[in-house]
Amino acid sequence: MSSPTIPRRPAPTDGWSGLVIDGRYRIGRLLGEGGMGEAYLARDLRLERWVVVKRPHASLLADASERLRFLREIRSLTRLEHPYVLKILDAGAGPDGCPFAVMPYLPGGNLRDVLASRARWSVRDLRVWLPAMACALDYVHGHGYVHGDVKPANVLFDESGNAILSDFGLVHALAPDAPDGELEATPGSPAYMGPEVIGGGAIGPAYDQYALGVMIHEALAGERPFDDTSVVACLLHKRASPPRPLRDLGVHVTAAEEAAVLRALARDPAARFPRCASFVRALDPEAPLPSCLPPPAATPDVSGPA
């Protein structure tokens, strides 16, 4: 596979393109811009490898104390390691004071583009990414975190085709107190948000499971269960009516498969599966589930001798 190339001249709109930040990362082209910030391809000059540098939108971190908090949050997440969770390698502040996070560059594209390129998937086809994502989410939840922005654009593929969950931690770092109805402060995409985000409901692991259910519905049916463009309309719709059963949409699934998807999409978070792995087991009992890592022992004291 050929290496990506860094453009010689920065495009005028690429804020950081062409800069070397922290004396270490040469910023290349803008890979894209999401709801939370910008993602740049960059060269790690110290370790001579390609990485992705992400910086949040300035509007999400209004002042210096919020920028510091973002860095603290990101640094605290670097201790989490899982084969299907994109690792945060480093964090720092750019020349304009804007914080950034560094992640491995994954060259295999994202699930949003893969979903757009084919019509409908079978339950068996989902094995390409679903067991890995369920395992990654259970790991994240086992450490007391909620991803908060599970969606196809945040499922990336590495060069071997493994699905890797990305942007874990960014929602938390940007809006640690965002759940419980604070829609304005909650980054994320309305189509994938659990309905409990309005009305002061608690946001827990079941919130991510709901998003996974939407992704599965989208893959199987070729359309999302609710697709209103405004956040509030979409969430009210989700609270007012259940999703249309897959078989009513002409999808070839068994009653058990349909029931599994509908349970993950239950309005009441308590009615969903206890874990994402249980959801996969109910949907596709034969799917090979990777052995999920147990939660870690208490963090060892690394402060060194007094």
Nearer to ligand ATP, 90 or 149 (CB): 149
35 binds ligand ATP (CB under 6 A): yes
In the chain, DSSP assigns E strands to: 20-21, 25-33, 37-44, 49-56, 90-93, 99-104, 155-157, 163-165
Q: Are 198 and 188 in contact (CB under 8 A)?
A: no
Report d(CA 5, CA 18) in Å as an integer.
Answer: 12
150 binds ligand ATP (CB under 6 A): no
Q: Which of residues 22-61 bind Mg ion (CB under 5 A)?
A: 34
Residue with tokens 């692991």: 205
Report in angstroms how near the CB of residue 151 gets to Mg ion at its nearest. 8
Number of Cβ atoms within 10 Å of the Cβ of 109: 12
Distance from CA of residue 133 to its chain's centroid?
A: 10
Report in angstroms how near the CB of residue 213 gets to ligand ATP at its nearest. 18
Nearer to Mg ion, 167 or 208 (CB): 167
Residues in contact with Mg ion, shown as a per-residue x/- string from 129 to 168 under the rule CB under 5 A? -------------------------x------------x-
105 binds ligand ATP (CB under 6 A): yes
Which single residue brings its beta carbon nearest to ligand ATP? 34
Report in angstroms how near the CB of residue 244 gets to ligand ATP at its nearest. 26
Q: Which of residues 52-71 bind ligand ATP (CB under 6 A)?
A: 52
- What are the distances in angstroms from CA 218 to CA 80, 112, 283? 30, 10, 15
Residue with tokens 């599965």: 216
- What are the distances in angstroms from CA 247 to CA 232, 244, 250, 252, 281? 28, 8, 5, 6, 20
39 binds ligand ATP (CB under 6 A): yes
Distance from CA of residue 78 to its chain's centroid?
A: 16
Any idea which residues carry the catalytic annotation?
149
Q: Which of residues 164-193 bind Mg ion (CB under 5 A)?
A: 167
CB under 5 to 8 A by kind: which of Mg ion, ligand ATP, none does 36 bind? Answer: ligand ATP
Which single residue brings its beta carbon nearest to Mg ion? 167
Report in angstroms how near the CB of residue 161 gets to ligand ATP at its nearest. 14
Distance from CA of residue 225 to its chain's centroid?
A: 19
Report d(CA 157, CA 165) in Å as an integer.
Answer: 9
154 binds ligand ATP (CB under 6 A): yes
Nearer to Mg ion, 34 or 269 (CB): 34
Q: Which of residues 207-266 bind ligand ATP (CB under 6 A)?
A: none
Number of Cβ atoms within 10 Å of the Cβ of 246: 20
178 binds ligand ATP (CB under 6 A): no
The two tokens of residue 263 are 């349970």
Interaction site with Mg ion (CB under 5 A) = 34, 154, 167
Interaction site with ligand ATP (CB under 6 A) = 31-32, 34-37, 39, 52, 86, 103, 105-106, 110, 149, 153-154, 156, 166-167
